[in-house]
Structure 1
Amino acid sequence: MAAEATPDQSLAAAAELPRVFDLAHQLCEVVNGRPILSPAKFIEMMGLDSDAFASNALVRRDTITRSPAGIQSHIRTTLQVLAAVMGSMGDDFQAGIFWYRNEPLAVFDYKTAETLVTKRRAANVVDLRFCGVSSLELIVDL
């Protein structure tokens, strides 16, 4: 059973919402009369290629352009993690993306946040922020 969020955690989560909405708005486009989070814009923003994105989203490369629910879910989850990361990095978006994609996290057997999101463990990454652990404390000096 999941523990209830403390008032501080609830306030912190609410503070992240504008960041998520700002990021999502940048990626939004209308397709067939409905708004979606553009996989092409996301791929460009993250500095990925289509193969890496498909692998991270756990879909085949040829499904990216159709943007099924799984892709939309992966983009939303990544944005939520990035918003939490940006909050601890002074809103430096590029630093947040670099951290997300490249920094090994000791508490997670040196996996990156990107790898954890792919393994459906985004909540673990976001929880780090609520536990009061700064990202710099989690990075291993090589």
Structure 2
Amino acid sequence: MAIAETAKDPDDPAPIVSARRFGEALHIDLQTLAQQAHVHRNTISRQPASESVQRFLRDALRVIRAASDLTGDISKALFWYRNETLPVFDYKTAEQLVSDGCADDVLRFVASLEAGAAG
């Protein structure tokens, strides 16, 4: 099962990523998630379909998926996303970079790792 599917709330018919389930998967509380998404803490629970929340969650899932495709292991990808500091990005984690709005940069970095591993 893909990470995006596990982040979907099965009880909600809306095609949105569940902030609650995303937080559970990464073992972070909703307050921390709100800080990462740069929204008020109440936005996460009261307006989870807001564009700012969903954009952050989608970006995070794209990076996690790319890392998972590279490693072949979702647990390793989640650990990397949250904990591995990246020297090329001033020793920030992928999680910090996504919060900073740099998901595309992280995706290019992961693609370069994949190209290096393949070539």
Say if 2:42 is the partner of 1:72.
no
Give the aligned length.
112
Compute the TM-score of the two structures, normalised by the length of structure 2: 0.85
Q: What does 1:40-79 align with in structure 2 at a 5 Å threshold?
A: 40-65=20-45, 66-67=47-48, 68-79=50-61
Could you tell me how far 1:96 is from its partner in structure 2?
0.8
The two structures, once aligned, show a CA RMSD in angstroms of 1.8
- Unpaired segments ≥5 residues, structure 2: none
Counterpart of 2:92, as a letter, is K
4+ residue runs over 4 A deviation? none
Residue 94 of structure 1 corresponds to which residue in structure 2? 75
Residue 63 of structure 2 corresponds to which residue in structure 1? 81
Q: Structure 1, residues 56-83: CA drift from partner, whole Å, max 9, x if none?
A: 0110111111211111111111110001
Counterpart of 1:117, as a letter, is V
Distance 1:132 1:72 in 2: 27
- Unpaired segments ≥5 residues, structure 1: 1-18, 135-142
Counterpart of 2:18, as a letter, is S
Counterpart of 2:20, as a letter, is A
Residue 19 of structure 2 corresponds to which residue in structure 1? 39
Distance 1:120 1:96 in 2: 19
Could you tell me how far 1:34 is from its partner in structure 2?
2.4
Compute the TM-score of the two structures, normalised by the length of structure 1: 0.72
SS in 1 for 2:15: strand
Counterpart of 1:132, as a letter, is L
Q: Which structure has the larger Rg over C-alpha atoms?
A: 1
Distance 1:52 1:106 in 2: 24
Identity %: 35
Say if 2:82 is the partner of 1:121.
no
Counterpart of 1:107, as a letter, is V
